[in-house]
């Protein structure tokens, strides 16, 4: 065909233009991921040649009590942080949107944990939750309750870390919900009022909550992914202790890989982590296509 | 048709509203009797939508009282006012089907909060019967609007005209005392607009509510309404029948706003005896007050007259059954509605005069001044 020649030239041009992006994607993302996947099936310690061992790493993971503990802890942590920070984020967004004054001030205050350095903030939390000199227990003492050793008792350490996680995520979720709220036409809430939705709760049920559906789904997914990734508070405050009571997935991966230098096993844990995140994203896109899209 | 004042219709008295330092409503009073259809006509930004929102209770006014169905509702929540509204954007709930949208005003009123709960609500006593009755009412309203086969669709799957009908159905389904429509036809194409006009009037007759219809389109207002309220800059200038508004405007702004093509305006002066002069010639008219005045005359009331004024043809438009001739008389530009067979060429001079009985006079303040006819003084 006569048109084929210029088309081909155009296609080459297109490839040439995408080359820098394609190359950096391949070098920085695709190759390391593939290398990690390959490593997950080997026994590989730094300085030694990797040995192919098939699924042995995964079998070990299944039987390793430490890993199971860490997996369970991560699920508990996500189970606490995701619903609480989503609920708190929504409540804050609704309150700030409804208020006439101080909108920018409150938004900034609650967004602060998102932009501040977690490692630095963790030391502030360490002080707040200190069993003897910390203000939290000082307050509890004032009403006659002997507060626990929040971060050093295996009964409370996960709850304390989850509380910090909620504090970290709620502001982020609040900003996302506020964006979602501004996208709801004001006329819909007015129509609801004229149609007989007299209380704010009725208008929320009739208009706001259903129309926030896509936002809520996104916020829930992103919060779950963010809280599965919990690492820095654990690394700074508890190092997985006491007695592995606060071991979480990424911290286990880190200690296996960088403390015990078992890179193969660490890569296998990474793969499990990747599978969970991809699974969550898949669920999100499927639900988004089916249920909460109004077209 | 005649209507008794405040016979359970809707009325606003002395409404004032200022938003961000800008006066939106300046002492507006208006009443619509039960079964009456009043069009609120004005250019965009004149405050007509704000007035409607004040009546619905979505916006609270700085001063004034609102009465609906014989009750004072000024301080009541929109839900308690017995008023329904069709929004310009239709404001349909995108996550609900057409049937569910129409049912909302009924479910909010007839079912308790517990009965409205998903799943659990269906198990409560009485809720099944109430829901069946609601479904029946929805079908009864939807059928004559041709919505029957569309009831299971969501708004996103409906055309503009269909959405508009769903919005109408949702507004009338619970038979409100007052029915407010905010430019409901502005998002429809021209052909659909004309057919929907008649449908809205028919729905109004069937429901028998006090209907207030906001529009900026004078042909909608004049064709649909029993009375028209002309609003400008936050004031109602005149509230009267369409014929009265057209023939007897009380304010120059009303005269200018109503009529297409627009009304012709000429500067005239009344001498101390009240005799009117136009371009050095005496007119067969007297005014009650001396001084400069504005003479307004509709294009169809100008006529060709061998004894009349010389006017130069600027251009002519042929419109099938009639023609519009644009003329220049001194500094004034005039439009004359002529028979279609009048062939006027640009540059040609025509002699025109006007029916003195049809002349409207306005003072410099824009208020109407009475004109008295007399025999033409022979110069």
Task: Note whether A198 contacts B: Cβ–Cβ < 8 A.
Answer: yes
Angle between helical axes of B160-172 and B98-110 (0-180°, round to 10): 20
CB contact under 8 A, A202 and B108: yes
B304 near A CB under 8 A: no
B91 touches chain A (CB under 8 A): yes
> Are A206 and B104 a contacting pair at CB < 8 A?
yes
Q: Is the per-residue pLDDT at A4 higher than 60? A: no
φ, ψ for residue A247, nearest 5 deg? -65, 130
Taking contacts as CB-CB distances below 8 angstroms, the residues of chain B near A207 are 93
Range A126-138 average pLDDT: 82
- pLDDT at residue A61 in the model: 82
Touching check for A88 and chain B: CB below 8 Å? no
Which pLDDT value is given to residue B3? 47
Q: What is the pLDDT of residues A221-271, one digit of tens each?
A: 999 988 888 888 888 888 877 877 888 888 888 888 888 888 888 888 888
Phi, psi torsion values for A285, nearest 5 degrees: -65, -35
Q: Is B156's Cβ below 8 Å from some Cβ in A?
A: yes
- Residue ranges of chain B with pLDDT lower than 50? 1-6, 377-379
Q: Residue window 162-181, chain A: list those with CB within 8 Å of chain B.
A: none
Nearest to B87 among A191, A207, A213 (CB): A191
For residue A7, how many other CB atoms are within 10 A of its CB? Answer: 10
User: Shortest CB distance from A196 goes to which of B93, B109, B154?
Assistant: B109
Tokens 């004072």 belong to B72
pLDDT of residue B231: 93
Residue B125 CA to residue B73 CA, distance in Å, equals 33
Distances from the Cα of B132 to the Cα of A171, B138, B140, angstroms: 45, 10, 12
In this complex, the residue of B57, B77, B91 whose CB is nearest that of residue A187 is B91
Cβ–Cβ contact A100 with B under 8 A: no
Q: How far, rounded to the nearest angstrom, does the alpha carbon of residue A240 sit from its chain's CA centroid?
A: 18
Structure confidence at residue A191 as a pLDDT band (50, 70, 90): very high
* B117 in reach of chain A (CB within 8 A): no
In this prediction, residues A122-139 reach a mean pLDDT of: 82
pLDDT over 60 at A293, yes or no: no
User: In the predicted model, is pLDDT for residue A117 greater than 90?
Assistant: no
Closest CA to A84 of A182, A159, A134: A159
Question: Higher model confidence: residue B52 or residue A284?
Answer: B52
Here the ipTM equals 0.81
Which residue, B245, B219, B230, is CA-closest to B51?
B230
Could you tell me which residues are beta bridge partners of residue B67?
B11, B72
- Binary contact (A210, B170; C-beta < 8 A): no
The contacts of residue A168 (CB under 8 Å, 6+ apart) are: A85, A113, A114, A118, A121, A233
Alpha-carbon span A215 to A222, nearest angstrom: 10
- pLDDT score at A283: 87
Q: Cβ–Cβ of B94/A294 closer than 8 Å?
A: yes
- Taking phi first (over 0 means left), then psi (-120 to 50 degrees means alpha), and beta for anything else, what does residue B364 get? alpha
Whole-number pLDDT of residue A173: 93
Q: B9 and chain A: CB distance < 8 Å anywhere?
A: no
Bridge partners (DSSP) listed for residue B30: B12
């Amino acid at each position: 065909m006569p048109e084929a020649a210029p088309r081909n030239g155009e296609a080459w041009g297109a490839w040439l233009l995408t080359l820098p992006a394609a190359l950096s994607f391949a070098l920085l993302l695709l190759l390391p991921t593939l290398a990690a996947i390959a490593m997950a099936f080997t026994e590989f310690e730094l300085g030694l040649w990797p040995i192919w061992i098939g699924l042995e790493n995964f079998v070990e993971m299944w039987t390793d009590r430490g890993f199971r503990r860490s997996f369970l802890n991560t699920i508990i942590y996500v189970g606490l942080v995701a619903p609480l920070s989503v609920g708190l984020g929504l409540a804050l967004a609704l309150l700030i949107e409804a208020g006439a004054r101080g909108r920018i001030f409150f938004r900034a205050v609650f967004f602060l944990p998102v932009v501040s350095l977690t490692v630095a903030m963790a030391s502030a939390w360490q002080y707040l939750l200190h069993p003897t000199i910390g203000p939290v227990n000082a307050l509890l003492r004032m009403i006659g309750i002997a507060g626990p050793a929040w971060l050093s008792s295996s009964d409370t350490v996960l709850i304390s870390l989850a509380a910090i996680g909620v504090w970290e995520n709620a502001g982020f979720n609040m900003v996302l919900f506020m964006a979602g709220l501004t996208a709801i036409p004001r006329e819909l809430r007015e129509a609801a009022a004229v149609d007989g939705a007299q209380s704010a709760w009725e208008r929320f049920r009739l208009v706001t909550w259903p129309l926030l559906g896509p936002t809520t789904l996104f916020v829930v997914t992103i919060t779950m992914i963010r809280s599965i990734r919990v690492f820095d508070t654990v690394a700074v405050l508890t190092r997985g202790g006491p007695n592995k009571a606060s071991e979480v997935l990424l911290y286990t991966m880190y200690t296996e890989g960088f403390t015990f230098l078992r890179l193969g096993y660490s890569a296998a844990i990474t793969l499990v982590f990747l599978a969970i995140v991809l699974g969550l994203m898949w669920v999100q896109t499927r639900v988004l296509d089916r249920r909460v899209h109004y077209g | 048709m005649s209507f008794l004042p405040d016979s359970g219709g809707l009325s606003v008295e002395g409404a004032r509203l200022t938003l961000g330092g800008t006066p939106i409503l300046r002492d507006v009073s208006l009443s619509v009797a039960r079964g009456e259809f009043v069009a609120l006509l004005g250019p965009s930004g004149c405050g007509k939508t704000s007035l409607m929102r004040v009546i619905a209770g979505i916006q609270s006014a700085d001063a004034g009282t609102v009465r609906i169905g014989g009750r004072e509702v000024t301080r009541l929540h929109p839900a308690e006012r017995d008023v329904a509204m069709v929004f310009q954007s239709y404001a349909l709930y995108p996550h609900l089907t057409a049937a569910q949208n129409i049912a909302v005003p009924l479910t909010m009123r007839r079912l308790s909060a517990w009965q409205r709960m998903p799943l659990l609500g269906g198990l409560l006593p009485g809720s099944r019967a109430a829901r069946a009755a609601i479904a029946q009412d929805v079908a009864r309203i939807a059928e004559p609007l041709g919505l029957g086969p569309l009831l299971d669709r969501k708004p996103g799957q409906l055309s503009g005209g269909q959405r508009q009908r769903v919005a109408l159905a949702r507004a009338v389904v619970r038979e409100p005392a007052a029915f407010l429509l905010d430019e409901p036809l502005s998002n429809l194409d021209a052909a659909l607009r004309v057919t929907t006009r008649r449908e809205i009037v028919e729905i109004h007759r069937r429901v028998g509510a006090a209907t207030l219809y906001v529009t900026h389109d004078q042909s909608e207002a004049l064709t649909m309404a029993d009375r028209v309220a002309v609003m400008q800059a936050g004031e109602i200038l005149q509230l009267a029948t369409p014929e009265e508004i057209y023939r007897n405007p009380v304010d120059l702004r009303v005269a200018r706003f109503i009529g297409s093509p627009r009304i012709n305006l000429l500067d005239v002066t009344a001498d101390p005896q009240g005799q009117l002069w136009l371009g050095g010639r005496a007119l067969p008219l007297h005014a009650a007050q001396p001084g400069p005045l504005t003479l307004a005359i509709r294009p169809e009331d100008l006529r060709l007259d061998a004894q009349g004024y010389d006017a130069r043809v600027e251009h002519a438009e042929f419109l099938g059954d009639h023609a519009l001739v644009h003329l220049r008389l001194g500094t004034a530009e005039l439009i004359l509605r002529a028979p279609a067979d009048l062939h006027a060429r640009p540059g040609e001079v025509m002699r025109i005069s006007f029916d003195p009985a049809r002349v409207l006079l306005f003072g410099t303040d824009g208020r109407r001044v009475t004109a008295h006819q007399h025999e033409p003084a022979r110069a």
